[in-house]
Structure 1
């Protein structure tokens, strides 16, 4: 169940970040409210996942996947450009998440 909570936290973080961009600096009330609600749910479910997962593992997965999803939405939805160094950095983050999952500490 902890991984379901973590996945839900990742979705909440992704939605919160997307709504934050759409809030235009908190000038659009509906998107600002959605961002705050999504982040609240995100942190609630991240906290629930930490009841049975190591912090290093949960945070690495949560932030790593969040960065990948945020980059994807920035490119495909907001039409922002990225360069090869950005892709390299994201690849290194992904490699780091895999290493933490394979060799990180366990209970």
Structure 2
């Protein structure tokens, strides 16, 4: 049984949730300390499973290039910021400029998703 096609707004909302699940999964990797802590180790797979499941539904509406680009870009930026603010990793100039470029790329992909198909 196929799921109904999502509206544009529903797809973007679910993509936001998928991104949060991916960031939680990646953060759990750090908290798992090399799979030596059970709960964060299990949560890696739970969070990524939810994220990939949502992405599979969203791709039908927004397309692969937009979904994966935005998912990975926003996830990368959020994960980098968590590393800087929560795990006290250094916020070097090159790191901050690189984050800025990722944000610009994500904004471009979002804009492209609003244009009619050629």
Please indicate, yes or no, whether the TM-score normalized by the shorter chain is above 0.5.
yes
Q: Which runs of 4+ in 1 moved over 6 A?
A: none
Offset of 1:101 from its aligned partner?
A: 2.1
In 2, distance between residues paired with 1:48 and 1:72?
A: 27
Q: TM-score, normalised by structure 1?
A: 0.91
Counterpart Cα distance in 2 of 1:52 and 1:33: 30
- Give the TM-score, by structure 2 length: 0.83
Distance 2:110 2:25 in 1: 25
Equivalent pairs, count:
107
TM-superposed CA distance for 1:106, in Å, is: 5.1
User: Which residue of 22, 29, 38 maps to 1:20?
Assistant: 29
2:73 pairs with 1:69: no
Radius of gyration: which is bigger?
Answer: 2
From 77, 90, 112, give the equivalent of 1:103: 112
After superposition, the C-alpha distances for 1:21-46 in whole angstroms (9 at most, x for unaligned) are 10011111111001110010010011
- Please provide the CA RMSD for this pair: 1.5
Q: Which residue of 24, 32, 39 corresponds with 1:30?
A: 39
What residue in structure 1 maps to residue 90 of structure 2?
81
Structure 2: gaps (5+ residues): 1-9
- Report SS of the residue matched to 1:95: helix
User: 2-side partners of 1:21 and 1:106: how far apart?
Assistant: 41
Q: Which consecutive residues of structure 1, in runs of 5 or more, have no partner in the other structure?
A: none
